[in-house]
Amino acid sequence: MFVKNIQQICVFSLIVHAAFGRVQKDSDTNYVTVPCIEDAECEYVNGTCINNYCKCSNSFNCKLSTQAIVNKLEERCQSTRDCNIAHAICNEKRECSCKKDFLASQNKRKCLRAASGLGGSCEESVQCYTNIPSTGCHENKCVCQQHMHEHNGSCYKNVRLGDPCQLHGECSLTSYTKCLKSKCECTENYVANGLECLLKANSINFTCFEDIQCQFQLSHGAECSSGVCRCKDLFHFKASSNQCVHDILLNENCRSHYECHQPGTGPSRLECVLGVCKCKSPYLEENGYCISSSTSAIFFKSIVLFLVTMFLIE
């Protein structure tokens, strides 16, 4: 009984030492009886806990093989059992190292799982930047480093609209942009206002926020008024060219019919005749405007009637 107690004390002492550093156990020929409370206490002797003693095979006498307990990565080992670190193995160099998909902590006492993407859980930045460049661990999550932003699962440096770039992702801080000719530019169908890219108007009455949206297609004669694209004063919309063109008034020089237009809505009453805007037939020129012949006759009769009335009164 005395010998048995001595053996138990020795084993207990061995377990205590193993928990706090690198120790050497007894020789291969040493068999001991190991007291226990649960199976976990018998793992190092390949046994199970039965009636408060470790049972190894069919005996309560368990063989202790020579084994070193290693509590730090990159230290020497003989087998993986020596590496007292979760997710560690004894590698070809006979050193404790982390398994695949695990990484050494800064103090080399843990194997940490590598993060698979942005937003993944972490304890140290090494878990993030090993697989995801330009990342770090912040509040236990993998995030992009300062002055960088996320785009499609990767981190890119912040490049503003109009600034030099190398990758499309760098420009993605601004919507509807790409790196074109080494510069962040708006994509097709969008136009820059200096800070952002706005959808180009493709016709009159197109919904808009700024004049530049209207002017790209409709010309400088267009403006954004009350949230829609319209032609400015002294400009009119020509469907054939899908543009707002300047009004060339009666008797002004012109190059084509569509340039001639008098103020107001409705079809133009002017045409370009020998390089000068003239009234179309059957309109007649009257006080700088083209009016219909019937309107002209009524106007003439009104003048005559007015003059006759004034003469009779006198």
Write out pLDDT tens, residues 207-220. Answer: 999 999 999 999 99
- Predicted local confidence at residue 152, as pLDDT: 92
- Predicted local confidence at residue 218, as pLDDT: 93
Number of residues assigned to the chain: 314
Write out pLDDT tens, residues 156-184. Answer: 999 999 999 999 999 999 999 999 999 99
- Find the range with the poorest average confidence among 61-65, 160-164, 198-202, 278-282: 61-65
Provide CB contacts within 8 A for 20, sequence distance 6+: none
What residue has token string 């793992």? 43
Q: What ranges in the chain are assigned the alpha helix state H?
A: 2-20, 126-129, 168-171, 211-218, 293-313
- Predicted local confidence at residue 29, as pLDDT: 44
- Predicted local confidence at residue 17, as pLDDT: 39
- Predicted local confidence at residue 1, as pLDDT: 42
Cα end-to-end span (Å), the chain: 156
Maximum average pLDDT range among 38-42, 208-212, 270-274 = 208-212
Looking at per-residue confidence, does 57 or 55 come out higher? 55
Residue 246 has pLDDT above 90, yes or no: no
Residue 27 has pLDDT above 60, yes or no: no
Provide CB contacts within 8 A for 191, sequence distance 6+: 197, 198, 199, 200, 212, 213, 216
Answer whether 278's CB lies under 8 Å from 253's CB.
Answer: no
**Mean pLDDT within 251-257:** 85
**Residue 75 pLDDT level (bands cut at 50, 70, 90):** very high
Provide CB contacts within 8 A for 183, sequence distance 6+: 162, 163, 164, 165
- Domain residue spans of the chain: 2-100, 114-155
**Residue 226 pLDDT level (bands cut at 50, 70, 90):** very high
Write out pLDDT tens, residues 302-311. Answer: 555 555 566 5
The secondary structure element, H or E, covering residue 111 is: strand 111-113
**Residue 294 pLDDT level (bands cut at 50, 70, 90):** low
> Whole-angstrom Cα distance, residue 187 to residue 203?
19
Tell me the C-alpha to C-alpha distance, in Å, between residue 100 and each of 88, 97, 127. 9, 10, 13
- Find the range with the poorest average confidence among 18-22, 67-71, 95-99, 219-223: 18-22
- Predicted local confidence at residue 247, as pLDDT: 81
